Amino acid sequence: MTKILLAIFAISITMTSIAQTDTTVIERADTIRIGGMIIIKKPGKDGKENKEVIISNRKRRHNSNVTTNWVILDLGFSNVNDQTNYGSAEAQAFTPGFAKDQLKLRNVKSVNVNIWFFMQRLNLIKHAVNLKYGLGLELNNYHFDDTRIHFQKNPTLITSDPDYASLKKNKLAADYITVPMMLNFNFTPGRERGFGLSAGVSAGYLYSSRQKIKGSDGKSKLKDDFNLRSWKLSYIGELNLGPIKLYGSYAMESMWDKGLDQTPYNVGIRLSNW
């Protein structure tokens, strides 16, 4: 280690002696940059030989007013807050004979995957307060604990089918193309993986929905909107804890147009640069 320091010291003296024409200026510190490494040579007192060499490999972070993050992945869980009055005429018309427990979801199996094509951060106040927005896909898979759940169309109904009792998988998939808009508070604007939080809203349009079942004879799909709302407006949030980023969303209203009062929400981890 001593030999390496001496070698760096010798190189710095050699290079700066070539570049410096006036060796009598004692208040001046010379700087040599080698890639990401910075060598600073400070002169000694009274024009004496240089005594101090500082070596640093830190890079200065330059904050742009508009920063783009491409292809962000969210991995989390989907669920619903079920406040349906199953005794009402509207609920019984859509889910005849159902009680609340029959539409209970499997928590571990009901997953949320979001693929954001891009997200941008626009500086508002000294990079500590930013506007954050983007575009992407929200993919929700609601796995039913009771595999007898059967979706029908023309007319749209949700019934209990005894023939589905032996199914290995029964889920409802609802996919949205979504635009999020958040106000971002960055507590450490000089760091690449800092600390902060974001809060705002998102608007999603339902572009695909289907029931997918899997049994001993294979898989099958039934595609329909099943009385799901075409638009989903949600409150959204994000928490940055250095390299760990968490996200969450909670819809402003039920995911169904009629019959059921189930408000969807998602929570999970976000794989993102910032």
d(CA 227, CA 139): 18
Reported in sequence order, the residue ranges of 107-186 that DSSP labels E, i.e. its strands, are: 111-125, 129-143, 149-152, 157-160, 169-186
Are 75 and 146 in a shared domain? yes
Residue type at 185 in one-letter notation? F
Classify residue 252 as left (phi > 0), alpha (psi -120 to 50) or beta. alpha
Residue 203 has pLDDT above 70, yes or no: yes
pLDDT, tens digit (0-9, with 9 covering 90-100), for 215-252:
988 899 999 999 999 999 999 999 999 999 999 999 99
- Domain of residue 144 covers 66-271
The CA distance from 204 to 138, in Å, is 8
Mean pLDDT of 63-74: 93
Count how many domains the chain has: 2
Smallest CA-to-CA distance from 94 within 211, 229, 258 is with 258
How confident is the model over 19-32, as pLDDT tens digits? 444 443 344 456 66
* Amino acid 224: pLDDT: 96
Mean pLDDT, range 161-177, rounded to an integer: 95
| Residue 19 maps to a domain | yes
Residues 110 and 39 in one domain: no
Co-location of 135 and 216 in the same domain: yes
Domain stop point among 16, 33, 56? 56
What is the pLDDT, as a whole number, of residue 191?
A: 81
Which of the pair, 260 or 5, is modelled with greater confidence?
260
Query: Per the domain annotation, does 164 fall within a domain?
Result: yes
Query: Would you call 10 helix, strand, or coil by DSSP?
Result: helix
DSSP 151: E
Q: Which residue has the tokens 């039920």?
A: 254
- The residues that bridge with 56 in the sheet, in sequence order, are 38
User: 105 and 225 share a domain?
Assistant: yes
Assess whether 176 and 219 both reside in one domain. Answer: yes
Residue 230 to residue 97: CA distance in whole angstroms: 26
Region 61-77: mean pLDDT is 90
Pairwise pLDDT comparison (239 vs 60), residue with the higher score: 239
Q: Is residue 77 part of a domain?
A: yes
**Same domain (yes/no): 81, 193:** yes
Residues 96 and 223 in one domain: yes
Domain boundary among 56, 74, 94: 56
Cβ neighbors of 167 (< 8 A, separation 6 or more) are: 147, 148, 213, 214, 215
Q: Can you give the pTM of this predicted structure?
A: 0.77
Assigned domain for 130 exists: yes
Burial status of residue 268 (CB atoms within 10 A of its CB: 0-12, 13-18, 19 or more):
buried
121 and 31 within one domain: no
253 phi and psi angles, rounded to 5 deg = -155, 175
Give residue 274's pLDDT band: very low, low, confident or very high (50, 70, 90): confident
User: Do 176 and 220 fall into the same domain?
Assistant: yes
pLDDT at 184 > cutoff 80: yes
For residues 183 and 74, membership in a common domain is answered with yes
The pLDDT score that the predictor gives to residue 192 is 75
